[in-house]
Chain A
Amino acid sequence: MLEAQRDYVLRTVEERGIRLVRLWFTDVLGNLKSFAISPAELENALNDGMSFDGSSIDGYGRVQEADVLALPDPNTFEVLPWVDSKAAEARVFCDIAQLDGTPFEGDPRQVLRRNLDAARKLGFVFYVAPDVEYFYFAPPGDGRPTPLDNGGFFDLTTTDIASSLRKETIRTLETMSIPVEYSFHEDSPSQHEIDLRHTDALAMADSVMTFRFVVKEIAAMRNVHATFMPKPLEGVQGSGMHLHLSLFKGDSNAFYDANDPYNLSSVAKSFMAGLLRHASEITAVTNQTVNSFKRLVPGFEAPVHVSWARNNRSGLIRVPVPKRGSDLATRIELRSPDPACNPYLAFSVILAAGLRGVEEGYELPAEADANLFEMGDQALAKLGIEQLPQSLNDALKSMESSQLVAEALGEHIFEWFLRNKRAEWRRYKTHVSQFEVDTYLRSL
């Protein structure tokens, strides 16, 4: 199979007159990295990988040896649809390996592969479908971000540039093997949401990387800035990346049980219990910026409490009622992650937390169907409902003592991530904000 895939790629490069092949991979913070090779080098790259100096990539640096190998994954080969066909280009995602061929521990894609293998050993395939929100702004200057419109939820602003950008984006995504389920104008000015159709987690992590790149690229072509910053505007909803999750065993949905009143299997329930119990430990990975925590506040449809419910959008996990009670569509929706996360690492820790629940048979707490935003701390404590970490600092503290996250990410990324993010927190802590100047300068 692998040989046939290589042939396919090489032949396509020749037939389509591809001039440049971009090798894509991801740093630990989730930034897309790339270097280009000529078609002449491609066969060699497919067989033996391309070595490069990893020391300049965030989270790749090692003491002993800086060179690593990029191994193209031929099944991810795609011609880039926005490049002029006279100088056609293609991209292929890479796994990063050490020079001896063993997986490089700093590569997020390899980390996800390792976690998916663990699920596979239990007989599970992990499916993910994200709902990604983002904003379109005028190109950033020195001041505040400027929205392109003031439309609200589902507004028909057909003539405005943002809608045509979104349409163009979806067309491009679909020609790159990323089918879109829904798309619409979100609540906030210039905010948009695109919901992707589920795939297995590795393909989806690749798709999220491609998605962010395509959204930004298409916008930049019209001199518009697209951003996945979790909370760019104060006082309106931020951008989340709700994840619809399910486990499949062979052809059947391991989350579905026809005899359960919720139609949830014991696997689904203990998976949810795992997510709830380890929620605070994985939050630094699913919500990795200082700004992420300005989204996780009451009043903006973002989760604040570690709870679950069927039709309550204030909880961390929602169990959507599937259309027509279809067993295949039974899934859970994790509402905390934001689109600034590293999808490979986020999917890894989410899967690890859920599987821990399945393996150890965690008990699912009762459904919290009241509006938690309206309940006082005491009432919440009585129900045993905790809050998600309030800041990056809280989240890091919780992560640092987590054996589960250390195992899921591997020591190399675990250590580097904590070091990097603590430094980010220190920079933030010493920053004197506009809020402080406005509030205190005159009065104190």
Chain B
Amino acid sequence: MTSTDLLAVFPDSPTIDVARTLDLSGYSWKGVETPENLAKLQPTEGWAGAVVCCDEDPEGGWAMCRALRRLERPVQRILVLITGAQVGDLEVRDNLFDDFQLSPFHPRELEARLRHMFYNELLAPSSTVVEHAGLRLNLETYQATFGGSPLDLTYMEYELLKFFVQNPGRVYSREVILSEVWGYEYFGGARTVDVHVRRLRAKLGEEHAHLIETVRSVGYRFGSSKWSG
């Protein structure tokens, strides 16, 4: 982190504890009221990271996390504040945050977590590589490899595979996949998802086509279910 890097903070006026910890730890930050304002308020080099207080407004907080990840320059460092009662919320949202802080918190703990989150970034931007069962996607260079050899994908195939690899073991309906990968404004309909799944399976080859599993009358699941082991 350099002194010019800016953190996005939700809500736009966080509690005094959060604000003071950020100030005393030397972070520059700006409060953001709604996801719509994210792009407008961001510095030219993009947000360096974000602190999102889901303890106060869970719905608004998670919406903010989602929006941060979907920016043209997706924010890779997100710390969420949650209450002890909200720990269960984390399970289905692994893709939306990088670290979490239970609230109420000790300022020294929050400071340590933030420092660690950004220390990682300086070393190796490890979150730019996602892996699953021999499949490796470098989000920085857009390159996919399988068992070490390159996998040539079209842009939409890549985006779909990225979604799967980042969300393994869970079943998603075609509608959810369509809105997450193509965006709501896409005209083609959920059939498009089937077409691209078939293409991905063909490219993964016969032995690995099962990585993307069809869950009848529901949708698709990437990788095995965590319950079935």
Q: Which residues of A are in contact with B by a Cβ distance under 8 Å?
A: 1, 3-5, 7-9, 11-12, 15-16, 74-79, 81, 120, 125, 127, 174-175, 177-180, 197-200, 203, 248-251, 328
Q: Which A residues touch B201, using CB under 8 A?
A: 179
Question: Is the Cβ of B195 less than 8 Å from the Cβ of A248?
Answer: no
**Residue B150 interfacial (CB < 8 Å):** yes
Q: How far is the CA of A283 from the CA of B199 in the complex (A)?
A: 32
Chain A residues contacting B190 (CB-CB under 8 Å) are 250-251
Contact: A16 with B195, CB < 8 Å? no
Closest to A11 in B: B142
**Distance, CA A214 to CA B156, complexed state (A):** 22
A259: shortest Cβ distance to chain B, in Å? 21
A347 → chain B closest CB, angstroms: 16
**B110: shortest Cβ distance to chain A, in Å?**
34
Residues of A within 8 A of B175 (CB): 251
| B155→A8 contact, CB < 8 A | yes
Task: Say whether B134 faces chain A, with CB atoms less than 8 Å apart.
Answer: no
Residue pair B155, A174 in contact (C-beta under 8 Å): no
Q: What is the minimal beta-carbon distance from A95 to any residue of chain B, in angstroms?
A: 16
In the complex, the number of residue pairs spanning A and B with C-beta atoms less than 8 Å apart equals 75
B43 contacts chain A at the CB level, 8 A cutoff? no
Q: Is the CB of A75 within 8 A of B156?
A: yes
Which of B15-23, B80-88, B114-122, B181-189 is the interface stretch? B181-189
The residues in B between 132 and 186 inclusive whose CB is less than 8 angstroms from any CB of A are 141-143, 150, 152, 154-158, 174-175, 183
The smallest beta-carbon distance between B163 and chain A, in angstroms, is: 14
12 more contacts with CB within 8 A, not counting A15-B142, A179-B199, are A3-B72, A76-B154, A81-B152, A120-B187, A127-B191, A174-B203, A175-B202, A177-B154, A177-B202, A200-B195, A203-B195, A248-B191
CB contacts (< 8 Å) of A250 on chain B: these are 189-190
Tell whether B198 is near chain A: CB-to-CB under 8 Å. yes
Nearest CB of B to A2, in Å = 10
Given A15-B142, A78-B154, A175–B203 Cβ distance below 8 Å? yes
Q: How far is the CA of A127 from the CA of B188 in the complex (A)?
A: 10
Alpha-carbon distance between A179 and B200 when the two chains are bound, in angstroms: 9
**Which residue of B152, B155, B202 contacts A5 across the interface (Cβ within 8 Å)?**
B155
| CB neighbours of A174 from chain B (8 A) | 202-203
A207 to B202, CA, bound (A): 15
Q: Are B155 and A198 in contact (CB under 8 A)?
A: no
A175 touching B142, Cβ below 8 Å = no
Q: Note all chain A residues with C-beta closer than 8 A to B156.
A: 75
- Measured CB to CB, the nearest residue on chain A to B175 is A251
Q: How far is the CB of B131 from the nearest CB of chain A, in Å?
A: 17
Contact B203 A177 (CB under 8 A): yes
Task: Kindly list the 4 A-B residue pairs having the minimum CB-CB distance in the complex, ordered from nearest.
Answer: A174-B202, A79-B152, A251-B190, A179-B202
Distance between A241 CB and nearest chain B CB, rounded to angstroms: 20
Q: What 0/1 pattern do residues 11 to 53 of B give for CB contact below 8 A with A? A: 0000000000000000000000000000000000000000000
